[in-house]
Amino acid sequence: MHPQRRYTLTAACPDRVGIVARVATFIADNRGWILETSHHADSDTEHYFMRIEIKADSLPFDLTEFRRRFRPIADEFAMDSRITDSAVKKRVVVLVSKQEHCLYDLLARWQSKELEIDIPCVISNHNDFRGFVEWHGIPFHHVPVTAENKSAAYAEVTRLFEEAQGDVMVLARYMQVLSPDLCARYPGRIINIHHSFLPSFVGAKPYHQAYQRGVKLIGATCHYVTAELDAGPIIEQDTVRIDHGDTVEDLVRYGKDIEKAVLARGLRYHVEDRVLLNGNRTVVFR
């Protein structure tokens, strides 16, 4: 049984009286059937956030006309708004280096249709996973990155992403720091999994850092990538409890399990249009 086709309206705007009434009236006047609705008012920024799912076939017009008719409301409230169609799968370009667990997990969830996405290609700075990726029928691109060729390498990553018509770039343990230009080009469209409960233990070897500090909880963080290392808006996090008997190797093993789950949840929230940016924070309508 195929899931019900729906349009998802997301919007963020300065908070004021009448936003919900105006949007709901517009939907009702066009006989739209609301399936799910979420709202949040941020008193610190005085911004309002909403996400509304509407049964697609309840409206008397298509997506293009929906967007056209909604535009005056978006302009009236100074909304940053988007309307998407669940029938159009997000195109997810995956970047990976030499650690396979997140890549394997994402491809398994894609293949089983647990994640309703398209993966037009995988990009790596190593050739290790070419056979595995191509076995799944997915194009694999090897783009080496060295200290001398970073500018050209990231230009090629950008070209491949554009050529694939990517919606979102996922760093599935891609162990390179992206250029500021690349980060700025796709704000809110590059997702990373960091093997630490950020903002603790940024950078390399966080499990070793955590072990040396004798922490009792380790975790992983799914976040959007910005030019500042490991400091972008956080989408999802999780932790696991450890004790004095655990070795660094145990921490790494526990951590890999958390990384896979947190990245998959964060990506799901993103492709279902459940994440709205709020400065360097996020509003996540689970």
3-state secondary structure of 6: strand
Cis peptide before 233 (omega within 30 of 0): no
Q: Looking at 105, 167, 230, 273, which residue is catalytic?
A: 230
3-state secondary structure of 40: strand
How many CA atoms are closer than 13 Å to the CA of 123, on its beta-carbon side? 27
Burial 249-273 (b: 16+ CB within 10 A, else e): eebbebbbebbbbbbbbbbbbbbbb
Q: Is 230 a residue of the active site? A: yes
Distance CA 188, CA 68 (A): 24
Residues 6+ apart with CB under 8 A from 146: 153
| Active-site residue set | 230
